[in-house]
Amino acid sequence: MNLSWRQRAACRGVDPDIFYPASDDDAEPAKAICDQCDVRQACLEFALANRERDGIWGGATERERRRIIRQRRKSA
Ligand code: SF4
C-alpha cells in the first residue's frame, strides 16, 4: 500500500493526543487541522480500508467513519 501521503500530512509533528479526543465534542482541534490538510481524502480512505477504530482520520471521527461505511454499503 502506498503510504506516501503521510509525508504530506498536516498533522505531522502535532501532539497525537489531539487526534484521540475523549469525545466527539473534543474533536474540533483535530478536525481544524484536517481541514487544512492536502491529503485528507487519502487519509480518510486509508482509515476506512483498514477499519481504524480510534481517533480522527481524514477529518472524521470514529462515529462519522462508521456512518460513511454504512452509507457506502447502502449505495453499493
Ligand atoms: S487528514 Fe487529518 S489525520 Fe489525516 S493526515 Fe491530514 S491532518 Fe492528519
pLDDT, one tens digit per residue, over 38-48 is 999 999 999 99
As a whole number of angstroms, the distance between CA 1 and CA 31 comes to 25
CA of 75 to the centre of ligand 1 (A): 26
State pTM to two decimals. 0.93
Spatial distance between the Cα atoms of 46 and 24, rounded to a whole number of angstroms: 20
Q: Please give the Cα distance from 2 to 22 (Å, whole number).
A: 30
Q: Does residue 1 have a pLDDT over 80? A: no
Q: Residue range 16-36: average pLDDT? A: 97
Q: Which of 12, 28, 39, 48 to mutate to test the pocket of ligand 1 (most atoms within 8 A of CB)?
A: 39
Best of 43, 48, 54, 62 to mutate for ligand 1, by most ligand atoms within 8 A of CB?
Answer: 43
